[in-house]
Amino acid sequence: MALLELVEIVAWVIAGFGLIIIILSSFDIFIRLSYLFLRKRPGHERERMELIVLRGKLTTRIIFGLDFLIASDVVLSVIVPTLEELTRLGGVVLIRVILTFLISKETQELEKVQS
């Protein structure tokens, strides 16, 4: 029983890392966006580029945080493979796949704008 409890604690710690990454990244991008909008300098095209870059950074960081959440769910589903755990794991993996697809589109858009 102690091994199961230890694995659960490790899984929660891993999930905590993922949440911290997502939360801190969100605050960071929020501060950068606030600064961008408060600056109010001319050059709308440059501001549009900065928005695209910030959106890409946030998406990348969310994906990185989701990797930790996936790792946590994998640990839990291997030890206690309940239907609820497997469903949550499938949902997180699906979100990550969608975000990866979106960030690849963001990167392509950014490359087009920079060209």
pTM: 0.75
pLDDT surpassing 80 at residue 111: no
Q: Domain segments of the chain: what residues? A: 2-114
pLDDT surpassing 70 at residue 113: no
37-69: per-residue pLDDT in tens? 887 665 677 777 788 788 888 888 888 888 898
Q: What is the mean pLDDT of residues 100-115?
A: 71
* Predicted local confidence at residue 42, as pLDDT: 55
> At 81, is the secondary structure helix, strand, or coil?
coil
Closest CA to 114 of 49, 51, 56: 49
How big is the chain by its Cα radius of gyration, in Å? 18
The pair of three-digit structure tokens given for residue 29, joined into one six-digit string: 């991008």
